[in-house]
Structure 1
């Protein structure tokens, strides 16, 4: 069946001061593109975090969250910047049926199983990501920072990992990941609060309408994955499909995947 799609806009995201956006029935912008932001992290800090999380992965059970502090004089976060890191070990479901049960149990955003994926891709796993807690600048965060900092000061180690397993209560997103060899195809549903616009980092954007729903197909560079984004009718779930830059999807393939995913949402 031919995909129902209308290409509305195909331009550089900011050409002539114009930016690609989508409005709701009230005329409010609910989805738009933005200039990609760069948040540099030193190679050393990245290395230390990867080492810490590899260690935590061995310790945590699926479904557990750890808040951790790295004691290391070479890290700026080792001073009094009150920076803690989060690590969550998700429960990976090998079938959509098992993921659906977890969605219902946790109240995670519904991510419909796509009725179509490109040839060769098979479901690798589905999982639920959480909202990290406690949040910075809260009494709970300050208390935990003080506890981990004190433990690090009492330690004779010049560098080390200090963590605490902390309960979580709110899911943040639901993820489906399909694999074709080393190539990955990912679908995500993010929970959000209605009222503010979602901004998608982009250098190039194409605005599409698929089965009556407006979407934005975007990319930040030729070397990065492309992403197809849209909001639920309630504006409380943000959906995104991303391809693998080493196995890019055609526009038609993006559309076919989205068609299957919105089938259960649009009545």
Structure 2
């Protein structure tokens, strides 16, 4: 619908929303009646598919064209306070509200509902994702910088040398654990390490094939990505439990200068868990990261989210799935490394999803929710 076809109330509400950079709001008849608009409310019509070259506007008047013309002439001048009153009254009547968003280029419009924050149930056994008990803040106590001793510096260098020596003996997609120990009596206690390299992929099809091979959690590409964002990289992050007693019992191994030896062993593939995957999309220097992981804790607190006093936290209901939305754009002194963060789950598959945008991202709240919505279908 073009601007000239809107009634004065519709035009006023729409321009008010645009001036405040707010999405369109679907309010109930009772709300519109309370602010003096009677039954002449806006109707948001949902369509499952947009026709190419004929993208409909979300807002459509319920009045016939002739009656709308007469109504515009009668109601040409409305008091400006009604738009603000509508938003205030929505908050008074409920605390949650529904928004309809349209993306003409890539996907059909979608609806989401904003709810007050509450812990998110993420497993069938009742496990929850919660925010930490207290916000993260900078400590006023200054921690003195401690310089490494010569012995500590040498041990750090040998630990890195041991890692590199073991890694050179491994083929791609092989993993190992090792022990760094001094051969002389009375030396430093042994140090345990792992070579647990993440698998990275420059195209999605390669990632998908490996994810299927190693039975990693399914992380499909989102159906919607904002204009300019392209696939950059994918990762599968392996993990295995260290069998400390077995490892410390190993003998022989790689000999390093300075009286150090590195016993090591290749970990069998059957002991490796491929429970974490991640996709990355970039536009210039801005990044959208999407990750998935299998949940180890199925009851109690499955994960605790860090937040600060400046972090906005809400729950969002979209496509029948509830998620936690975190806005850290006003990050203040504490940097959490993202602007937006969305967390949701698939309890049947026992997996948790996480979407973050880099701090400098210009994406809007609606856009990041739309990305997540495109992964829930």
Is 2:346 aligned against 1:206? no
Corresponding residue of 1:234: 348
CA distance in structure 2 between the aligned counterparts of 1:43 and 1:118, rounded to whole angstroms: 47
Q: Which runs of 5+ in 2 are unaligned?
A: 1-101, 103-108, 138-145, 183-187
Say which of 365, 370, 376 aligns to 1:251.
Answer: 365
Is 2:131 aligned against 1:33? yes
Say which of 172, 175, 185 aligns to 1:62.
Answer: 172
Corresponding residue of 2:115: 8
Is 2:227 aligned against 1:119? yes
Corresponding residue of 1:186: 289
Give the greater-gyration-radius structure (CA): 2
Contact 1:3–1:255 (Cα < 8 Å) also in 2:
no
Say which of 267, 270, 286 aligns to 1:166.
Answer: 267
Contact 1:112–1:262 (Cα < 8 Å) also in 2:
no
Offset at residue 100 of structure 1 (A): 1.8
**Equivalences, count:** 238
Q: 2:175 aligns to what SS in structure 1?
A: strand
Say which of 185, 195, 216 aligns to 2:324.
Answer: 216
Contact 1:215–1:228 (Cα < 8 Å) also in 2:
yes
CA distance in structure 1 between the aligned counterparts of 2:232 and 2:303, rounded to whole angstroms: 29
CA distance in structure 1 between the aligned counterparts of 2:162 and 2:116, rounded to whole angstroms: 45
Offset at residue 53 of structure 1 (A): 5.7
Q: 2:218 aligns to what SS in structure 1?
A: coil
CA distance in structure 1 between the aligned counterparts of 2:351 and 2:369, rounded to whole angstroms: 19
Residues 105-150 of structure 1 show CA distances to partners (whole Å, capped at 9, x for unaligned) of: 1111111111122333221222221122xx24xxx331113327x7
Residues 66-117 of structure 1 show CA distances to partners (whole Å, capped at 9, x for unaligned) of: 3244558xxxxx525xx52323223322222222222221111111111122
Offset at residue 262 of structure 1 (A): 0.8
CA distance in structure 1 between the aligned counterparts of 2:123 and 2:266, rounded to whole angstroms: 44
Moved more, 161-170 or 44-53: 44-53
CA distance in structure 2 between the aligned counterparts of 1:161 and 1:213, rounded to whole angstroms: 50
Corresponding residue of 2:28: none
Q: 1:255 aligns to what SS in structure 2?
A: helix
Q: 1:4 aligns to what SS in structure 2?
A: strand
Q: 1:261 aligns to what SS in structure 2?
A: coil
CA distance in structure 2 between the aligned counterparts of 1:156 and 1:238, rounded to whole angstroms: 45
Q: 1:252 aligns to what SS in structure 2?
A: helix
TM-score in terms of structure 2 length: 0.52
- Structure with a larger share of its residues in strand: 1
Contact 1:177–1:186 (Cα < 8 Å) also in 2:
yes
Offset at residue 3 of structure 1 (A): 3.7
Q: 1:262 aligns to what SS in structure 2?
A: coil
More relative contact order, 1 or 2 (CA 8 Å, 6+ apart): 1
Corresponding residue of 2:9: none
CA shift in 2, pair 1:147/1:21, >3 Å: same
Q: 1:147 aligns to what SS in structure 2?
A: coil
Q: 1:84 aligns to what SS in structure 2?
A: strand
Alpha-carbon RMSD: 3.8
Corresponding residue of 1:14: none
Map 1:81-96 to 2 at 5 A: 84-96=192-204
